[in-house]
Amino acid sequence: MEQKFYTPEGFKALQDELDDIVNVKIEENKKEISKARAYGDLSENSEYDAAKQEQAILHARADELREMIANAKVIDESQIDHSRISVGSIVVLYNVERQKEFKYHIVGSYETDPANGKISDSSPIGAALLGSREGDTVVVEGVRVQHLEIKKVTRAKEA
């Protein structure tokens, strides 16, 4: 698995999810399996089958989270040129074609939440913005070409 970038908050969310799965959900699932076993014949026991299926899903997600954590690169704010856009930047943009202003928080690919203005550093807009500065205009090519004027660049801690 390739190394992925995370904000400190995004990395903590991974750790919190893993902790919840390992210490809460898997323990609850063990109880469900025990309870379902008590119903008798396992060959026709849908509760047991469902609990075992949930167990497999939980363990697979825990393994996936462990791998993500092991390959994570947490952004060190002290090592960043804050005048350039990078993961963790909050950017105010003006879309020339749409004549509209937008605000985005550039995050790692596993932290995206477009409905809340969090876009991935590997998305077309995020990738085009990386390394740019306030005052620059970037061109994003996709379904339609977009010219984005960078109005303001801040960090999440400053916003």
**β 72-74/4-6 pair status:** parallel
Model-wide pTM > 0.75: no
pLDDT at 10: 87
Q: Can you give the pLDDT at residue 80?
A: 77
Mean pLDDT of all residues belonging to the chain:
90
Q: Which residue has the higher pLDDT, 66 or 42?
A: 66
Element of type H or E holding 122? none
One-letter amino acid at 64 equals: E
Amino acid at 7: T
Domains and their CATH numbers in the chain: 4-74 (1.10.287.180), 78-155 (3.10.50.30)
